Every structure is written in structure tokens, then in C-alpha cells.
Amino acid sequence: MRKIYLFFLVLFALNISFAQTDYTQYVNPLIGTKNMGHTFPGATVPFGMVQLSPETNQQAMHKEDGSYNSETYRYCSGYQYEDSTIFGFAHTHMSGTGHADLGDLLVMPTVGALTLNPGQAEEAGSGYFSHFSHDTEIAEPGYYAVNLEDYEVFAEMTSSERVGFHRYTFPETQEAHIILDMVYNIYNYEGKNVWTFIRVENDSLITGYRQTNGWARTKMVYFAMEFSKPFKSYGQKRYEEVKYNGFYRKFEEEKNFPEMAGQEIRAYFDFDMKEGEELQVKMALSSVSTEGAIKNMEAEIPHWDFEQVKQEAQEKWNQELSKIQVEMRTPEQMETFYTALYHTFLSPIIYEDVDGRYRGLDQNIHQSEGFTNYTIFSLWDTYRALHPLFNLIQPSRNNDMVHSLLAHHDQSVHKMLPVWSHYANENWCMVGYHSVSVIADAIAKKTTDVELDRAIKACVNSAQLSYYDGLESYMELGYVAEDLSGSSVSKTLEYAYDDWCIAQMAQKAQNDLVYEDFNNRATYYINVFDSVSNYMRPKLSNGEWRKDFDPLDTHGQGFIEGNAWNYGLYVPQNVDKMIAMMGGKDEFSQHLDKIFTTPIEDKFIEKNEDITRDGIIGNYVHGNEPGHHIPYLYNWTNDAWKTQERVRMILDEMYTNDVDGLCGNDDAGQMSAWYVFSSLGFYPVLPGSSIYALGSPLVKSASIDLEDGKKIEIICHKQSENHVYVKKVQWNGLAITDYSLNHLELAKGGKLEFFMSKKP
């Protein structure tokens, strides 16, 4: 009996040890892209409103002659690894998106004579920026640190959901400054700052807000900033031309005046510091009010224990990362996998105060009831794999996100679901109305409690907004007319897919009228297929094909971020019909081969900054989302083994654990979600259904912890670099014969086994 007792004690100890595995050790937050917007959130927690990270350069959106400055594209997230300068630490960021905004509330510690001009990175001493070395840089989930060489200041930061926490270790000086740069923005241009207001509440607490007009054209960020010791003096400088200042002209406002207001303001706070003394700074955010920011600070970080906050942040990360426990063949693959999983938990972000109040699309203050409100929905990207991944491992959060989408609709004067939504704004970026897909996928996988009729009404409203992006001609003609709306083929294909999603919801609700209408609209892709050229191509409003059509060109040919070769294959709702239209299974398989093996010339991509060589294999552009399903389409032909070959090639070639380990913008987690799914051996080719397509897993084994306590165990027999092909697949001992899995079966828990082989 004693032996049995000891045996179970050992098992219990082993289980505790396994549960406490630190998965953050496998994450490298610096992994991103070289030529495009880097993915680097700095100090943040999963889905946190605060993403506190360094700005390594300051790029104006326009050159002096007014032309577009292409360098700004590389700074979508404010950080580029190849830089050697830091201009400060901002509190809001987007993770690797193709466009940018945010970069709010830039804080920079300096020593010596006060300089409020940021300067030019190539001109040493021209401003308050500092040089740094990657040798002193520490980047971990929930923590960032670096030595600011020009000031001998060691900067550290961590965060909670709504509060950024800084710790600066100074040399001895009577000239220590904390600069609060309210001029700085990512994608900055003249006039972006609408108004800034700052109050010095006492000798250690500052409150205020900033309104900007950028990608989010009416964005309000309120803040409360608190220091761990009193400042001895403070001041400000306004940089815009002040045409009227009322009777504030009575005061000397630039020094020790507790009220600051204007469009372009930089404030500073002065301290005496001893050698090695730490100055800590807390910055709480709110979309509602400075009172809300203070409440957020008091609720989340009411103390000054930096190490405690860091530990709590990293425990939150480990809790999320441990939802998928994998064994890979190499340490490099472990780092690549968990960094990808980390990326998928960066957005959407929580967008409400601790009391549930948030700013809505109508710019009024709302109270969330029964859900947590989220923002930053890059839906043209993330409906494909990120939200389906959430339905597997983050269903409660995704349910909150679905409620957030519907709240956006209810507050919209257009009665429109989000297209690309952030910070209580709609920016209308990209094509389609893919909130529909996110809602339909959650309904199909039974992970949401939204009322079905309410969801259908919001989706139908969005799909019938005639003045939105070519929808009028789509509804009248059965396709988006190229002479009336650009990128017409992409729009037609995306709308048809979204309409299929609406039809599935209507069928579930037994709403025959809506089902028949949208099931018919789901076939409109046929209207842009040219059987002569065998390509999807742009059509004019008079019914004629647009002349001068080049299926290889990615510019001006009816597609956005793609061409007819790749984007033309976007009919996930009826792959069999698409294959039949294009000549049958064998001919379609050959077309897929041609996509992967035919190099695309520079002239076909040179006008599109979103497409770079880093993400291209032949004509397959993995760096851009419209083709992410393409490797899996071989499953619908007689050559399913080629899906396995292509997927494994992409996993190995397009993702690494180097700092430029992503082949394109992470696009709010979609690029990484593809990697996570594909590494596990399956992928959601058709969100809005419960079906996954099988591929070629990269993991040796995996355990997926489902929210209700069930587990999915994945075992890959004979997994190796050369064992790319799948000989057979079993789910709970039963053979899978149709190259697909059903989410509803996986959700019951069980064992998924892949038997790998060297040969197809």
C-alpha cells in the first residue's frame, strides 16, 4: 500500500511539474519582419490595452515636398530591429499590421541639459533620443528592458491590462528628466493631433487626454500618469502656431503651470537622482475619462512593486501559452511555435475600463453587459485563421469579441458590422464584411451565446448597405463592376463567401427567405469567371470583360494584394464547383503546381508595398492572407499528398526563430495563426463551417487544453524532417478517409494520430 501511495505522490509531483512548465522561455518577442511593419508589442499581457514598447525612430508620413514617405511603412509598430536608437516608449501599438496608427503617450527618460526636440537618428546629439545595443536589450513576454547608452539609464517596463509600468535606474544627477511627448504618433503628419490636455494634479500625479485624427479619425486616449517620487519642477512647450489663447496670456505657461492645452505639446518633469536610484512611472489608459484611468490604475497596480507586476504579467502569459503543449523536433521549432502562439494573443485588445465602461462607435460612453468589449479587429486578415483558432482555445474570449462586433453594429449610424475597427472608430480598410464570417464560425462551432436572429439581422444589414464598396452593383448585377469600384474581383469573391456564411446562419434559424437570397448570392463568384482565359477577371458594368487583363499583375487588375493566379482561387464555400469550372481535378492540381513553381517578376509586384520577396514562393504569396488556404486545395484533387508537401515546405521556409522570422506582416495574428494550425496538422479552409482540412503536422506531439477541461492529444508517429507525408490518420482509433476533421468532434476531446511516411 505504501508503494502505491508513493507512486501516486510521484505522479502528482510530475503532473504539478508539467503544469508549471514555463512556456514563456520559448517566446522571442523580437521575431518579426525586416521590410514591413515589425511585430513587437513590448511589455504587454494577453489581449492587453497597453502595449508598451520602444520607438526606434520617428518617421513623418510625408516628405518635405508632400510626397509619401515609404519608410513609414516599416515602422507600423514603431520598432525596427536594425535600428540603434530609441526615441522613447509609447503605450499603444498594433501588432504587425500593414497600416498604422496609435503610438500614444511617448515617455523618454533623459539626463543633462533639457532637450525637447526628438532629433534625427543619423545626427548624434541632435535631440533627446538615445543609442542602444541589442546586447543590453531584454525582451520577454510581459517585460522589456534596455540600457539607454547616451544617458546611462537602464529602462525596464512591464504592464497589466490597462496600466504600463516603467522602472528607470539613473546615474547620480541633478538633471534627470522624464519627457512626455504628446506630439509623437506612428504615421505622423501635420494636423494629426487634434487636441491635447494635461493637468498636473499634484507633485506626482498627471492626468490628461489626447485626440487624434488618423486611421481612427476621432480617437480619444485618456491617461493618468503617476511617479514614485515627487518631481521638483516641470514645464511644457507648444509647437503649433497659437492664433488665439484668450486670457491665458496672463500666465507664463511654459514652466510650473499646472494646466497644459494645445495641439502639439511636449511636457517634462525634473528630478534629482542618486547613483543607482530607481524612478518608477505608472501610466494608466482609458477610453472614457481621466477618472476611469485613475480607477484602472488603482484596481490593477495600486502599489509600487515592479517585480510583482512583472511576475503577474508573465504568469498570465504562461497560462495562455500552456493551452497548447507541444513537443517539436528542435529547440528552434519550439521557439518559432510559441512565438507564433504568443502573437495570436496580442489582439484584439480589451477596450473597456475595469468597471465595464467604454467609448462606443457613436462616441458615447457605454456599459458592457454580460461581455467584455474588445477592439482592433483586422477582420480581412483574422477571420481566416485567428478567430477559428480562438474558437478552439479561446472560446469565451471569442464570444466576447462576437458581442463586441454586434455592439459596434448597434452603435453604427450605417447599421454596419465592423470592417476594420479600432479605438471606437471604423476605418473601412480592405474589402468584404468579414465580421459575418467570425459570427458564423462561432455559431457553427457552438462557441457563442448570441441570439441567432439578432446576429442574422446585423449580418443582413451589413450585406445590404448599397453604398458600401461596390455593393450596389454587386446586388444589381451579381458582381462588383470594375468601372464602378476598384479591386472588383476580390470584392465579388469575398462578398460571395460572406454571403454563404449568412446563408448558413439563416438555414440554422430556418429563415428560408434569407437563406434563399444569400445562398444565391454565394454563387456570384461564377459571374467573374472567364471560361476562355480560365481566370477570375474584372468585368465592367455593361457586362463586358475589362480589356488589357494580365492575370499575373497585382496592380490594377481587379485584385487587392494578389493576382488572378492566386486570389482567383478564393471560393472556399464551393471548392468542388471552382475546380470543375477550371477544368477538373487534374488540371486544377497542375494549376496549383504552376502557382508554386512559376517565379513572379518584379514588375508585377513593384507597385504593391504589401507584397515583398520575403513571402513569395513562385506565385504563391504567403506573406499576404488571400492565399493562405491555397496549399490545402490539393485535398480536393487527386493529389492530396501535395498539400502535405506544400504545407511542410511553407512551415519550414516561411517561419524561423530569427528576428526577421516572419515573411510578411503578422497582420494582427493571422500569419501566426496559420503556423499554429498547420503545425498541429489541420487548417480552417472554410470558416463558418465546423470542418478543418488536414495537412502535414510539424509537431511530434501536442496536447490542447479545451476550456471545459477536455483535451485533444495529437501524436505523430515517425515524425521527422523527411517524414513529410501522412500515411493515415486516426481519430480515437477510427480512420479518417476524407482529409478533413470536424470541430464538433474534436471539441469532445480525444486522440488524433498521424502516421507519417517518407513517401506520398
Residue that is written with C-alpha cell 537622482 in the block: 273
pLDDT (0 to 100) of residue 451: 98
* CA dist list (Å): 230 to 106, 250, 279, 635: 20, 27, 10, 66
- Between CA 105 and CA 111, with CA 106 as vertex, the angle to 5 degrees is 140
On whether both 573 and 689 belong to a single domain, the answer is yes
Count CB neighbours of 739 within 10 A.
19
Residue 688 has pLDDT above 70, yes or no: yes
Tell whether 335 is covered by a domain: no
Pairing of strands 691-694, 682-683: antiparallel
Report the C-alpha gap between 217 and 237 in whole angstroms: 25
On whether both 431 and 510 belong to a single domain, the answer is yes
421 strand-pairing partners? 377, 426
Contact (CB, 8 A) for 229 and 235? no
Instruction: Give the residue among 545, 540, 548, 538 at the shortest CA–CA distance from 489.
Output: 538
Quickly state the pLDDT bin for 70 (edges 50, 70, 90): confident
- Between 712 and 18, where is the model more confident? 712
* CA dist list (Å): 263 to 180, 184, 255, 757: 14, 11, 18, 64
Residue 107 has pLDDT above 80, yes or no: yes
DSSP 426-455: B---SSS-THHHHHHHHHHTT-----HHHH
pLDDT (0 to 100) of residue 607: 66
Quickly state the pLDDT bin for 71 (edges 50, 70, 90): confident
In tens, the pLDDT along 146-171 reads 999 999 999 999 999 999 999 999 99
Report the C-alpha gap between 199 and 265 in whole angstroms: 13
267 phi and psi, to 5 degrees?
-110, 160
Contact (CB, 8 A) for 559 and 567? yes
Residue 690 has pLDDT above 80, yes or no: yes
Q: Where are the beta strands (DSSP E) in 170-257?
A: 173-181, 193-200, 205-212, 219-227, 233-238
Given 294, 317, 340, which residue is the final one in a domain?
A: 317
pLDDT (0 to 100) of residue 664: 81
Across the chain, which distance is largest between two alpha carbons, in Å?
Answer: 89
Contact (CB, 8 A) for 155 and 145? yes
Q: How many residues does the chain have?
A: 760
Residue 36 has pLDDT above 70, yes or no: no
Torsion of CA 254, 257, 259, 260, to 10 degrees: 10
Report the C-alpha gap between 212 and 195 in whole angstroms: 7
Given 293, 317, 341, which residue is the final one in a domain?
A: 317
Give the CATH number for residue 159. 2.70.98.10
405 phi and psi, to 5 degrees?
-60, -40
Given 298, 317, 336, which residue is the final one in a domain?
A: 317
On whether both 273 and 363 belong to a single domain, the answer is no
Tell whether 169 is covered by a domain: yes
In tens, the pLDDT along 266-318 reads 999 999 999 999 999 999 999 999 999 999 999 999 999 999 999 999 999 99
Tell whether 601 is covered by a domain: yes
On whether both 376 and 307 belong to a single domain, the answer is no
Q: Which domain holds residue 102?
A: 23-317
On whether both 358 and 301 belong to a single domain, the answer is no
On whether both 578 and 720 belong to a single domain, the answer is yes
In tens, the pLDDT along 245-267 reads 999 999 999 999 999 999 999 99
Instruction: Give the residue among 407, 502, 495 at the shortest CA–CA distance from 453.
Output: 502
Q: Check the CA dihedral 180-184-185-189 and report its sign.
A: positive
On whether both 577 and 659 belong to a single domain, the answer is yes
In tens, the pLDDT along 350-405 reads 999 999 999 999 999 999 999 999 999 999 999 999 999 999 999 999 999 999 99
Tell whether 345 is covered by a domain: no
Range of weakest confidence among 92-96, 130-134, 325-329: 92-96
Tell whether 17 is covered by a domain: no
Quickly state the pLDDT bin for 126 (edges 50, 70, 90): very high
Tell whether 6 is covered by a domain: no
Tell whether 716 is covered by a domain: yes
In tens, the pLDDT along 521-553 reads 999 999 999 999 999 999 999 999 999 999 888
Report the C-alpha gap between 382 and 389 in whole angstroms: 10
Report the C-alpha gap between 267 and 336 in whole angstroms: 41
Q: What is the mean pLDDT of the chain?
A: 94
Q: What is the mean pLDDT of residues 120-134?
A: 95
On whether both 367 and 446 belong to a single domain, the answer is yes
On whether both 385 and 312 belong to a single domain, the answer is no
Give the CATH number for residue 697. 3.30.2080.10
Report the C-alpha gap between 248 and 266 in whole angstroms: 18
156 strand-pairing partners? 145, 167
Quickly state the pLDDT bin for 11 (edges 50, 70, 90): very low
Number of domains in the chain: 2
pLDDT (0 to 100) of residue 610: 67
Report the C-alpha gap between 435 and 406 in whole angstroms: 9
In tens, the pLDDT along 319-346 reads 999 999 999 999 999 999 999 999 999 9
- The gap from C-alpha 211 to its chain's centroid, in whole angstroms, comes to 23
On whether both 269 and 413 belong to a single domain, the answer is no
Instruction: Give the residue among 169, 172, 149 at the shortest CA–CA distance from 157.
Output: 169
On whether both 246 and 306 belong to a single domain, the answer is yes
Q: CB-based contacts of 601: which residues, under 8 Å, 6+ apart?
A: 552
Quickly state the pLDDT bin for 41 (edges 50, 70, 90): confident
DSSP 8-state code for residue 210: E
pLDDT (0 to 100) of residue 37: 63
Report the C-alpha gap between 571 and 579 in whole angstroms: 10
In tens, the pLDDT along 551-581 reads 888 888 999 988 999 999 999 999 999 999 9
Cell matching residue 753: 494520430
In tens, the pLDDT along 471-491 reads 999 999 999 999 999 999 999
Cell matching residue 266: 511636449
Quickly state the pLDDT bin for 613 (edges 50, 70, 90): low
pTM of this structure:
0.95
pLDDT (0 to 100) of residue 642: 98
pLDDT (0 to 100) of residue 16: 39
pLDDT (0 to 100) of residue 12: 42
- Between 332 and 666, where is the model more confident? 332
pLDDT (0 to 100) of residue 17: 38
Give the SS3 label for residue 251.
coil
In tens, the pLDDT along 598-610 reads 888 777 676 666 6
Helices 670-680 and 640-653 meet at what angle, rounded to 10? 130
- Between CA 510 and CA 165, with CA 390 as vertex, the angle to 5 degrees is 140
Cell matching residue 77: 509598430
DSSP 8-state code for residue 85: E
Tell whether 58 is covered by a domain: yes
pLDDT (0 to 100) of residue 38: 65
pLDDT (0 to 100) of residue 405: 98
On whether both 258 and 385 belong to a single domain, the answer is no
Instruction: Give the residue among 339, 338, 365, 340 at the shortest CA–CA distance from 353.
Output: 365
- Between 16 and 307, where is the model more confident? 307
The three-state DSSP-derived secondary structure of 695-741 is CCCCCCEEEEECCCCCEEEEEEECCCCCCCEEEEEEECCEEECCCEE
Report the C-alpha gap between 44 and 159 in whole angstroms: 5
DSSP 8-state code for residue 625: G
